[in-house]
Chain A
Amino acid sequence: DAGITQSPRHKVTETGTPVTLRCHQTENHRYMYWYRQDPGHGLRLIHYSYGVKDTDKGEVSDGYSVSRSKTEDFLLTLESATSSQTSVYFCAIREDITGSPLHFGNGTRLTVT
């Protein structure tokens, strides 16, 4: 299994509160990604990182920010959680972008009440 750890695995929070999800990898891969998975939708990209301090937006980035201060850690922050952000969040890593696949963590289930 790819060495990816997501924390927490489950979280319940209230609308309007900030939330940070953590992804930690032991593979030393350059590329890291945050996706959300919702019923009826494919996995959708929130943000990605192509190196320490280098990040970019994905297709559903509104309301989310990310940070990567070390190769192994990629943080996703919901600045002010809303009910529409209730979802399962997956972190993924990738060795290169020319053809290697993404490898996923086991996700964080977030419920915003």
Chain B
Amino acid sequence: EDQVTQSPEALRLQEGESSSLNCSYTVSGLRGLFWYRQDPGKGPEFLFTLYSAGEEKEKERLKATLTKKESFLHITAPKPEDSATYLCALMMNTGFQKLVFGTGTRLLVSP
């Protein structure tokens, strides 16, 4: 069965304190991995797509990386406005319609 696990469930950082969020998975065949940000009361907002091991994508203070077993979302010098829940989702080689979502990491950045 295709599974995805995000860790930690929650993370509290001080402003400027860099860290990483993890998305690990066991799937039969991965076509791609998406990262999303979700603010309270809102829908998930797309951040990145990663397709192959070794690939990296960056946007402002965020950098996403992918290996064969996991993806990391690195947050460099975070600000309070980076506080949100971060979700990863897997797209398999078969069944492109049916993404598998992790339960997310709740990030709180304190000033």
Contacts and interface: CB of A to CB of B under 8 A. Distances in A.
Interface of A: 4, 31, 33, 40-45, 48, 50, 56, 58-59, 90, 92, 97-99, 101-107
A31 B97 CA distance: 9
Contacts of A98: 96
A41 B5 CA distance: 11
A105 B96 contact: no
Contacts of A99: 31-32, 49, 51, 91
Interface residues of B, number: 25
A43 B31 contact: no
A92 B41 CA distance: 15
A50 B97 contact: yes
Contacts of B89: 42-43, 102
B109 interface: no
Contacts of A50: 97
Contacts of A107: 41-43
B45 A101 contact: no
A107 B41 CA distance: 8
Contact of A105 (B4, B43, B99): B43
Given A102-B46, A103-B46, A97 B96 contact: yes
B102 interface: yes
